[in-house]
Amino acid sequence: MTESINRNKRQLTWALYILAAVALLLFMGDQLAGKKAARIVQTLISGVLVGGVYGLVALGIVVINKASGVFNFAHGWMMVVGGMIFWSFFTVSEISVAGASLLAAATMLMMLTTASYRNLLERRNLLIAAGGTVGLTALMTVGGIEWRWLHALTGTVAGAILTGLAVERFTIRPLIGQPLFTAVLMTLAVAEVLHGVTQIAWGTVELDLPIFVDPQTNSRFKPIRLDAFREALDGLAIIRVELVIAFVLALLAFVGFILFFRYTSVGLAMRATSEDQQLAQSVGLRVRVILAITWAAAAFLASIAGVLQGGAVGLSLNISFVALRVFPAVLLGGLESVTGALVGGIIIGIVEQFGTLINSSQQVGANLAPYVVLMLVLVIRPEGLFGEKRIERI
């Protein structure tokens, strides 16, 4: 008997999971049977829109993993830092020229020295850095508060590049050649450092980030009410405009990154680097520079997600926890897959919302459902829905 179980262990495990999946579907069907169509449609809309933002956060984690194999636990705190930098430029009427210059100069300096500190010795490079500093400073400080979108976007891009490059230069680069696990642990340390820096720089209180505000009424955009379908759905469903904007921005970011990875030389180099850093270096790819660009790109994605999340619910240290909720999406989609990040995010968003619809009192949506789905998928496809199957020849 024991021998027979051992021999058919894999099949038995499969059978158990299939049984669990069928039971889950039957349970869900039963639970949803009594719900109005409007509730189901509403839950689906909310799930997709929230999932889009999850996907954007997941994309930042995937980009790092794709290029370096590192799972970045600091991504949530990079979101907070990006959001806070945006807030600093967006809500301040008179921006300090000295502060903006410092940010611009630091960013340019980090960019200039990405490949080597020897670049500082070339006059041409210094001129480029000086010109870049002046240009960035001008963009961050020109005009009054009516130019705040320009100030905030420029400041956030500069801040994200600086954050990403600094993290890579001072924490990840020294670990090249060390076991991957060391770098993963380093990201945990980076998370704590960013946590501390954020507290010191911006405090811990909630900050209002009024980006989704109708300038006519000075209040949040009114939701789109699906009144035309009220009768058909036996109730009202609504679509929140700020979530639609966040979703569209997330989609644009996805398209951009898919094109970037597929059609640009840097994107192809990133993919090569992720396969084998030593091999990539041996064929002339500048692995250091590629990793630096990757971290800057991830920090930029984190900043976008931080701004969108902050605009939707307010900026606080809590938004770092969104990254924790996104981990199932990353694993579900596949650690190296850009498409997987989006699909995983949306699936987790929908599963969370339906879990909540069925049983919010036990937190089925937030705590249980995403992980059940994740387990089921990983059993069937351990590499995730869109992950790459690795075959190692011995």
Partner 1 sequence: MKKLGILLALALVIGGALPGLAQDMMDYPSDLTACEVDLTGETINIFHFGDLSGPYAFITQPIVSAVTDAVSYWNSRGGVCGAELAQIYEDTGGSREAAQSAYDRFTSTYSDELDLLLLYSSDDGELLREQLAEDEIVSYISAGSIESLYGEDGQTPGWLYASNPLYINQFGSFCQFVAASPEVFPDPVIGFVTWPNAFGRAGTEPAAREYCGGLGVEVLADPQFFLPTDTDILTQVQNAIDAGANIIYTNSLATGPALIAGTLVDLGLEEEIKLAGVNWVMDTTVGLIGQRVLKPNGLPSVDGMFGSMPFLWWTELSNPAVQFVYQQFTLNERGPAEQNIAYLLSWGVVDAIIETTLRTVNRMGSLNAVTGADIRDTVAAMDYEVLGGLYHQYFEESMRDGVLNRIAVLKFANTTMTGPAAGPEDALLIDNPAGGKLFVPIVVPLTDFMEVPQLRG
* Binding-site ranges for partner 1 (CB under 8 A): 36, 39, 42-43, 46, 49-50, 53, 90-94, 145, 148, 195, 199, 203-206, 208, 210, 213, 217-220, 223, 225, 236, 238, 240, 243, 309, 312-314, 316-319, 321-322, 325, 353, 356-357, 360-361, 363, 365-366
Smallest Cα–Cα separation from 126: which of 140, 141, 113? Answer: 113
Please say which residue, 108 or 357, places its beta carbon nearer to partner 1.
Answer: 357
Please say which residue, 267 or 306, places its beta carbon nearer to partner 1.
Answer: 306
Please say which residue, 2 or 93, places its beta carbon nearer to partner 1.
Answer: 93
For residue 325, the minimal CB distance to partner 1 (Å) is 7
For residue 317, the minimal CB distance to partner 1 (Å) is 6
> Rounded to whole angstroms, how far apart are CA atoms 285 and 240?
45
Smallest Cα–Cα separation from 61: which of 390, 310, 287, 329? Answer: 329
For residue 238, the minimal CB distance to partner 1 (Å) is 6
> Rounded to whole angstroms, how far apart are CA atoms 67 and 281?
13
Please say which residue, 309 or 337, places its beta carbon nearer to partner 1.
Answer: 309
Please say which residue, 122 or 192, places its beta carbon nearer to partner 1.
Answer: 192
Cβ proximity of 118 and 146 under 8 Å: no
Cβ proximity of 29 and 377 under 8 Å: no
For residue 225, the minimal CB distance to partner 1 (Å) is 8
For residue 345, the minimal CB distance to partner 1 (Å) is 13
Please say which residue, 121 or 205, places its beta carbon nearer to partner 1.
Answer: 205
Identity (one letter) of the amino acid at 230?
R
Please say which residue, 211 or 280, places its beta carbon nearer to partner 1.
Answer: 211
For residue 339, the minimal CB distance to partner 1 (Å) is 23
Please say which residue, 164 or 306, places its beta carbon nearer to partner 1.
Answer: 306
Identity (one letter) of the amino acid at 386?
F
For residue 265, the minimal CB distance to partner 1 (Å) is 37
> Rounded to whole angstroms, how far apart are CA atoms 298 and 292?
10
For residue 13, the minimal CB distance to partner 1 (Å) is 32
Cβ proximity of 293 and 271 under 8 Å: no
Please say which residue, 2 or 217, places its beta carbon nearer to partner 1.
Answer: 217
For residue 353, the minimal CB distance to partner 1 (Å) is 6
